[in-house]
Amino acid sequence: MSPSDRTDAPASLSIVARPVEDRLRDILDIERERWSRVDPQLLDPLDVLTRFVLDGGKRLRPAFCHWSFVGAGGAPDDPRIVDTGAAFELLHAFALIHDDVMDGSVLRRGEPTVHSEFTERHARSGWNGESRRFGEGVAILLGDLAEVYADRLMSSADSTTFEIWNELKIELNIGQFLDVIGAARGSVDVESARRIVRYKSGKYTIERPLHIGAALAGRLDRLAEPLSRYGEPLGDAFQLRDDVLGTFGDSDRTGKPVGDDLREGKPTPLLAIARDRATPAQLSDLERVGSTELDLDDIRAIQKVFIDTGALATIESDIASLTRTAIEALDEADINSEARNALAELARFVGDRDG
């Protein structure tokens, strides 16, 4: 998907996406050419990784990093910020590919997930071994490769920036671990669900990219706290919106089957609030969450519980409040007006998006 195809993307997002995508294309083309000379069989998985990285994604993390950097006085065409944006997208590919394996997801952005694609290829070709293990193994390796490429792009960063980069990756993995444990246990309280929201996605999507942008511009010491007062609530709003879309979203917009989060048993604040408020009859519907056998009628019954208990309304109110808090916090940040306006625009997009 090219930037021009993102009809709903604000200008503050679109203008960052193009140079980052151009850089990603250059990197991956070089790698495809390099490794296809070693063995032509390597071209196939690298082609899949290239499509995964380039044919979708909003480029939110590069955008938050870019506008923090520019707001702190950095030049918008500085090669370092473009490389950092490309590194964020490669790290995001790593996270998504591995997440799909852990969740057993079959679709991502309306296309087969990486592990599903290679599972099918193995089965169709009649190769030795178990098709599922082959598909998941290839996906894990491609995710790891994307992370290595991301680290290579960040290897020349100063020590402060690279320290934040590593902390971001630790937080991402800790959040994912909490998510996996919560889904396996089948029950999570509201406080724990919100902790998962923050560490699995919120900090990694918004707060840490902001910090890295400020660090690259040499102003992290002055901007870390005010940027956190913007990024922390907005990161929570971002993941809460994801949770709503995972349950109520239009599959044509989200690129995933409707109710996928319900089948996976995601331990979301939406689910935790509904459980706290549910009647015994409603709890019997919620007990179905986590079943891979959920059909459309089951999903509609669970959606109705979320609506009737007021859980959905509470989450929507939280998203609006968190987004408002984030935008108001920008007044405290010593950044230029162009970046302040761009970050406010991005906040509204994050809170209101439908895919």
What is the percentage of the chain residues whose pLDDT exceeds 70? 98
- C-alpha–C-alpha distance, residues 10 and 41, integer Å: 40
pLDDT of 6 > 70? The answer is no
Q: Using one digit for the tens of pLDDT, what is the confidence trace for 137-160?
A: 999 999 999 999 999 999 999 999
Kindly report the number of other CB atoms within 10 A of residue 320's CB atom.
13
Q: CB neighbours (10 Å) of residue 296?
A: 10
User: In this predicted structure, what is the pLDDT of residue 234?
Assistant: 97
Q: Whole-prediction pTM value?
A: 0.93
Angle, alpha carbons 237-242-243 (nearest 5°): 95
Query: CA-CA distance, 36 to 51, in Å (whole number)?
Result: 16
The pLDDT of residue 65 is 98
Per-residue model confidence as pLDDT tens digits over 37-66: 999 999 999 999 999 999 988 999 999 999
Tell me what pLDDT residue 264 has: 87
What's the CATH superfamily of 3-352?
Answer: Farnesyl Diphosphate Synthase (1.10.600.10)
Alpha-carbon span 325 to 248, nearest angstrom: 25
pLDDT, one tens digit per residue, over 91-135 is: 999 999 999 999 899 999 889 999 999 999 999 999 999 999 999
